Amino acid sequence: MASTHYMDPERDNPELTEERRRANFDPEVLGDFFWQGQLKRRRQICEYVRSQGAELAPAQPVPFMTRMEQLEDVARLSVGMRKHAENVIDVGSPQEQFYFNSLICGYDGSPFHLHFIMALPAMINNCDDEQAAEWLPKLFNCEIIATYVQTEMGHGTNLKALETTATYDASREEFVFNSPTITSTKCANFGVVMAQLYTNGKCHGAHPFWVQLRDIDSHKPLPGITVGDIGPKFGIGSNDNGFLRFNNYRIPRRHMLMKHAKVLPSGEYVPPMHAKVGYTSMMYVRSVMIFGNAVYLAGAITIAIRYSCIRRQGEIRPGAGEVKVLDYQTQQYRLFPQLARVYAIAFSGIYIMDMYKSVIANINAGDTSLLSDLHSLGSGLKSVTSWQVSLGIEQCRMACGGHGYSEASGIPALYTMAVGGCTYEGENIVMLLQCARSLMKLAAELRSGVAIIENGTKSANPVTGYLYLANPPRKCRITQESGPDSYLEAFEHIARQRVFSAYDRLAQLRKRGRSAEEAWNEAGVALTKASKAHTINFMAKTFVERTKMMQDSAARADSFMSAQQAEYVRIKMYDSMQRIRPIALTVVDSFDFTDAELKSVLGRRDGNVYEHLLEWAKQSPINANDVLPFHEKYLGSFMKEVRNEREMSKI
Amino acid sequence: MASTHYMDPERDNPELTEERRRANFDPEVLGDFFWQGQLKRRRQICEYVRSQGAELAPAQPVPFMTRMEQLEDVARLSVGMRKHAENVIDVGSPQEQFYFNSLICGYDGSPFHLHFIMALPAMINNCDDEQAAEWLPKLFNCEIIATYVQTEMGHGTNLKALETTATYDASREEFVFNSPTITSTKCANFGVVMAQLYTNGKCHGAHPFWVQLRDIDSHKPLPGITVGDIGPKFGIGSNDNGFLRFNNYRIPRRHMLMKHAKVLPSGEYVPPMHAKVGYTSMMYVRSVMIFGNAVYLAGAITIAIRYSCIRRQGEIRPGAGEVKVLDYQTQQYRLFPQLARVYAIAFSGIYIMDMYKSVIANINAGDTSLLSDLHSLGSGLKSVTSWQVSLGIEQCRMACGGHGYSEASGIPALYTMAVGGCTYEGENIVMLLQCARSLMKLAAELRSGVAIIENGTKSANPVTGYLYLANPPRKCRITQESGPDSYLEAFEHIARQRVFSAYDRLAQLRKRGRSAEEAWNEAGVALTKASKAHTINFMAKTFVERTKMMQDSAARADSFMSAQQAEYVRIKMYDSMQRIRPIALTVVDSFDFTDAELKSVLGRRDGNVYEHLLEWAKQSPINANDVLPFHEKYLGSFMKEVRNEREMSKI
């Protein structure tokens, strides 16, 4: 069943050909399943980009560029990308847009990244009809580049405490902006700016505004605006995150985005139908992030498994020769759970993207009832998946040994980008606490009996339904023959236990006289654990539903699960590892990454790693000469000096 | 008790002064304890370096330099370092040597790094008297720069499978070298090279040789040698890890290091007294690494706690104003265990350094009996501490939110360096399996009753003694009042259980007909878990012994520990967190890092973070102009073009 798409037996490392021939399924089917029916489209787009040659390809690998060179190259590439976009992608499809963007500009960010992923959706969701007619065409055709401005030097996740203010001046029908923020600032000339809205001396909380930052022609910052780059970061070098400061900067009244809340010329404030309806662009990004996280991990596991199929080290049977490192149980234990996670996270990502779409449709129809469900699930998933993926990528990197530490592996850049997702769009711990808010509300209703009445419909809720269960099993029913459903019971048990134990801790603290807020803080750790377990339970359920096959790591033992049952799970896991081993390479092939996408010498489709590692290294400016240009100036003359000293002292 | 050393109330951020005044102990005493009585010496050395100004200071922060600039600057600094060394440090003290090196060259590596930490100890341990007299003075005065050559493109940790060969040619009394290796190659001109020794057609395994790589005067690679840099890595940019290839390269017979094994002129091989006695330089580095890992984490936690004392975000009590983020229970839960880990790891590091010294003294006296104990403990500690420290540093970084992601935090560089330690000097999983070898040998003896006979002396062994216990407690004795000793029982219980369960799994697999080697592989995961638990138990014990105060994270619940007992531990942990909170800043102050050492805007001693973040960013070449130099060429002209197109289409 091996797909010939991935095979070139004449040229490939024979280790990989041998592995691919063992596959008992068609990777094209699995790949199309993972990419939700888009495999062929992706290949068309990919082939188009490849066929354009240098115009749409990086000038050299990113690790060899300075940051300035990287920014310049991505500016060049992103213009090329926009010019070709209409020839090949459906520009109305965010999915194709993102794929096209990452194919050409990589994952490290581009001038259009925040433009498309944050500013444009924010504008779509927050402009009224007149505003949309005026501004959206300019965003779609990219004659302006917009950014999203919210994080401040002194404030990140806590939107309530934003220091940027937009004070309405009714006499001139303008808003006056003040204070510091951090955002993309070198390439963008407009921004969707979140600011505390003040009218008639009263604060109405954070609202979105459409603000011009730079001159259309000269691109110079406008008077009243200070901008700059925030400097080098852990990763995403070509994302020009910057700082931005307003000093009595004025914009017209109609530049407040007025789909939901409004300010009338008089300064009268018209509130939105739901307080958080202006925050949907954050929810959008979090929804998009989940599947994106799965893709990052899919990249890393593709590299690690391919490399583990060609890397030989050590013997299992003495004298039988060195084995492929993927044959070690310890290597499988390190890598195969990551493979399972890719799917678990991807499926949750698909689920929440669908949920986002229906919530927005509902809002447009005047129904905001599911907004907080979306917020809660998105917060939990964003937090759990970004951290699982980060840990998973590091395991993939370390599983490649010393070569994994080289930028040639492509994994360091994947890690620094993915782990950024633990912080941006809402710091992970804060997000878990957000998720816990709705869980504690529900737990209170369930404990008081209020929610039970609605049991009929609510227990069917795929996210929170398990909490409604009147008589959950008190003992784990896992046997040697158990399938995924009893495993799910264990996930539900843990989640239920953590949710109610956090609730009980809160209640206990209240009884001891703590205020609601103090109790919330002192139960903080328990609350984050509840949210994590709740989210992982959702992911496990979604995973089983989509695959009816379960291979994630075993749940922890406690009095619910006996040691014997834990052993069943363990045996099953080792069995799964043995079943996955022969097909592992073909499973990762099915993610269908091209070498240009993976940017990894270790993860080359053809497995010809060692010869290309040296080729790669030769591109380093350090290797331009046998001797470093400054050698004589420092170390060379120093060594001679001390040698002479020693020789003189002997005389 | 606040030390005035850390306080400057006139200029410091008042948030920090307030915290420091709350301290109920003298940080100088704690600091001197941590640095083993060397606090004053460290300050003298630090002050000397500071007083030399630009000569011993980096030209600019590393994040703003290209790798070539970084290599040049560290070459300049390392020459300065050597020239000043004798004025201020005891050059015979490795401790002072490392500190001086890291003060001037940072942690990222320098031309003398491998020279002093690997090549020199390898030479000291492996040269016979005549060789030592000839070569050691040249290594001590640095008239040559040596590297350590072992890792190969296709082989890392598995010394047995090294491909580099040294074949003895009796006719010319020379060794002929062939094959590829990876090492530091741009600055060094000599190397200690590990190669498979062949004499008279027979392989004797890996042995160390002293090999000249470059011409003394021109620094050009010698004929038969190809060298180059391996290219950019995840971190440690100024470490010039390279590749090296021998093509029939010849060295004289006496360049084999002959303290232990020898080759006589005839080609006759004289074996060492212990097969692994030539590997002591690896054991040395692993021993040094442990305390070094503690220092990395100490740096990260210093940054994170200082920043958490000045960063305010969100409210705990409504209307009471935003709180310091360190007041959140979740932040304490993230950071305080790292603080405890610093000490636990440091104490284990001190222990194993002492052990190393006595093992070497024993070897020199002809006794190799403790060599494998050192190897086993070192392997376990290297693996557990490097990973704990890496995870800990990332928690510190993420606890700093978005600013933690900036290189301005100094934490990304700490992470990429520390996490390298999971891979170099023996990949962590392989190291755990090495540690498991000796544990399984002991478990077999204990199960067969052989070891019990020696119980009297062996059970006192601080590393493995707990395994000899004839009647270990079957139920956890933790009560609400329990102190550290009952906690240690829990650590011992888990370690004992994991060790014997791995042993049982091995025995079971053997019974089912697996060969010893197959069984070893199929028990791989269980074996690594046994080694981890065993090592953590040792760390916990060492920690309690040195402090009689225990605050590491709670052990997992199983049938040994009841849910109620687990709850006691949890309550104790929350209590500890509350007790640590008021003194946290002073504890990290006591590590006594200077701002020049930490290289972190967030971790500044004075807490004046926000104003310096912008100052730092302004150094970026990206901020040299308001508009990027290539703006018009790409994005500027593109935006104009599409704007014109849109306007034309309206007409």
* Closest CA–CA distance from residue B531 to any residue of chain A (Å): 13
Q: Quote the minimal CA–CA distance from B110 to chain A in Å.
A: 11
State how far the Cα of A181 lies from the Cα of A225, in Å rounded to an integer.
11
Given a cut of 70, whether residue A445 has pLDDT beyond it is: yes
**Which pLDDT score is estimated for B557?**
37
Mutate to test the interface with A, among B71, B114, B234 (most CBs of A within 10 A): B234
Between chains, do A327 and B521 touch, taking CB under 8 Å as contact? yes
Q: Name chain A contacts of B392, Cβ cutoff 8 Å.
A: none
Q: How many other C-beta atoms are found inside a 10 Å radius of the C-beta of residue B567?
A: 15
Over the stretch A560-607, which tens digit does the pLDDT of each residue have? Answer: 677 788 788 778 888 888 888 888 898 898 888 888 888 899 999 988
Give pLDDT, residue B486: 82
- Smallest Cβ–Cβ distance between A142 and the set B156, B616, B642 belongs to B642
Q: Tell me which residue in B79, B142, B518 faces A317 most closely, judged by beta carbons.
A: B518
Determine whether the annotation assigns residue A164 to a binding site.
no
| Residue-wise pLDDT tens digits, A280-316 | 878 898 999 999 999 999 999 999 999 999 998 888 8
Query: For residue A215, what are its two tokens?
Result: 């001159």
Mutate to test the interface with A, among B145, B317, B635, B644 (most CBs of A within 10 A): B635
**Residues of B with Cβ-Cβ distance to A72 under 8 angstroms:** 628, 630, 634
pLDDT for A159 equals 66
Q: What is the mean pLDDT of chain A?
A: 89
Helix or strand or coil: residue B417? helix
Residue A103 has pLDDT above 80, yes or no: yes
In this prediction, residue A555 carries a pLDDT of 30
Statement: residue A181 has pLDDT above 80: no
pLDDT at B558: 66
Q: Give Cβ neighbours of residue A394 (< 8 Å, ≥ 6 apart).
A: A415, B390, B419
Chain A nearest-CA residue for B629: A72
Q: Over pLDDT 90: what percentage of chain B? A: 58
Out of A145, A230, A630, closest to residue B639 by CB: A145
Catalytic residue IDs of A = 425
What integer pLDDT is reported at residue B553 of this predicted model?
33
Nearest to B334 by CA among A535, A379, A427: A427
Question: Which residues of chain B does A187 touch, with a Cβ-Cβ cutoff of 8 Å?
Answer: 628, 631, 635
Q: In this structure, is the dihedral angle defined by the CA atoms of residues A47, A51, A55 and A60, taken in order, positive or negative?
A: positive
Lookup: tokens for B309 = 């004392």
Reported residue count of chain A is: 651
Partner-chain residue, chosen from B137, B401, B557, that has the shortest CB–CB distance to A427: B401
The number of beta carbons lying within 10 Å of the beta carbon of residue B40 is 12
Over residues A598-642, the pLDDT tens digits come to 889 999 998 888 888 888 888 888 888 888 888 899 888 888 988
pLDDT tens figures, B498-522: 999 999 999 999 999 999 999 999 9
Whether B425 sits among the annotated catalytic residues: the reply is yes
Decide if B86 contacts B110 (C-beta within 8 A).
no
- Tokens 């447009």 sit on residue: A364
Contact B556 A556 (CB under 8 A): yes
* The pLDDT of residue A549 is above 60: no
Confidence band, pLDDT 50/70/90 cuts, at residue A453: low
Residues B264-303: pLDDT tens digits?
Answer: 999 999 999 877 776 787 889 899 999 999 999 999 999 9
Contact B443, B414 (CB under 8 A): no
**DSSP 8-state code for residue A220:** P
Q: Which residues of A619-639 are buried (b: 16+ CB within 10 A; e: fewer)?
A: ebebbeeebbebbeebbbebb
* Residues in chain A within 8 Å Cβ distance of B66: 66, 621
C-alpha to C-alpha distance for A166 and A256, rounded to whole angstroms: 9
A559 to B563: CB separation less than 8 angstroms, yes or no: yes
Query: Mutate which of B73, B329, B581, B645 to test chain A, going by most A C-beta atoms within 10 A?
Result: B329
- The Cα of B16 is separated from the nearest Cα of chain A by a number of Å equal to 17
pLDDT of residue B394: 98
Q: How confident is the model at residue B550 (pLDDT cuts 50, 70, 90)?
A: very low
Rounded average pLDDT over B196-222: 94
Residues of chain B contacting A420 with CB distance shorter than 8 Å:
405
Is the Cα torsion angle A312, A301, A343, A541 positive or negative in sign?
positive
pLDDT at A553: 33
Using only C-alpha atoms, chain B has a radius of gyration, in whole angstroms, of: 28
Mean of per-residue pLDDT scores for chain B: 89
Q: A271 to chain B nearest CA, in Å?
A: 23
Which pLDDT score is estimated for A556?
36
Q: Is the pLDDT of residue B410 over 70?
A: yes
Instruction: Give the pLDDT of residue B158.
Output: 63
Check if the beta carbon of residue A536 is closer than 8 Å to that of residue A550: no
CB contact under 8 A, B559 and A556: no
Of B425, B489, B492, B597, the active-site residue reads B425
Residues in B closer than 8 angstroms to A627, CB to CB, are: 218-220
Beta-carbon separation of B78 and A521 below 8 A: no
Chains A–B, number of C-beta pairs less than 8 Å apart: 352
Cβ–Cβ of B231/A63 closer than 8 Å? yes
Could you read off the pLDDT of B415-431 as tens digits, one per residue? 999 999 999 989 999 99
**Strand extents, DSSP E, A213-286:** 225-229, 241-252, 262-263, 269-270
Q: Alpha carbon of A367 to those of A274, A355, B328, B430, B474: distances in Å?
A: 9, 14, 35, 57, 59
* Whether ipTM exceeds 0.95: no
pTM tops 0.90: yes
Confidence check: pLDDT of A506 > 90: yes
Torsion over CA: A543, A545, A546, A550 (sign): positive
**Beta-carbon separation of A634 and B72 below 8 A:** yes
The DSSP code for B115 is: I
Closest CA to A584 of A36, A20, A33, A29: A20
Any idea which of A385-389, A438-442, B42-46, B98-102 has the lowest mean pLDDT? B98-102
pLDDT band of B221, cuts 50, 70, 90? very high
Write the burial class of residue B173 (CB in 10 Å: 0-12 exposed, 13-18 middle, 19+ buried).
middle
Please tell me the distance from the alpha carbon of residue B432 to that of residue A595, in angstroms, as a whole number. Answer: 34
Q: Do A635 and B75 touch (CB under 8 A)?
A: yes
Partner-chain contact A525 B227, CB within 8 Å? no
The partner residue sitting opposite A407, judged by closest CB among B231, B427, B563, is B231
A316:B521 CB<8 A: yes
Cβ-defined contact of B234 to A317 (cutoff 8 Å): no
Quick one: pLDDT at residue B185? 63
Q: How confident is the model at residue A2 (pLDDT cuts 50, 70, 90)?
A: low
Query: Which of A329, A414, A625, A640 should we substitute to test contact with B (largest number of B Cβ atoms within 10 Å)?
Result: A329
Chain A residue numbers touching B330 (CB-CB < 8 A): 429, 433, 524-525, 528
Set of chain B residues whose Cβ sits within 8 Å of the Cβ of A66: 66, 621
B462 has a pLDDT exceeding 90: no
Task: Give B395's contacts in chain A (Cβ within 8 Å).
Answer: none
In this structure, what is the dihedral angle of CA atoms B467, B469, B474, B478, given to the nearest 10 degrees? -90
pLDDT of residue B638: 85
Cβ contact, residue pair A416, B412, below 8 Å: yes
Name the minimum distance, in Å, from the CA of A465 to any CA of chain B.
27
Region A335-351: what's the mean pLDDT?
A: 95
- pLDDT greater at residue B545 or residue B528: B528
Å between B545 CA and nearest CA of chain A? 29
Residues A194-233 have pLDDT tens digits of 999 999 999 999 999 999 999 999 999 999 998 888 899 9
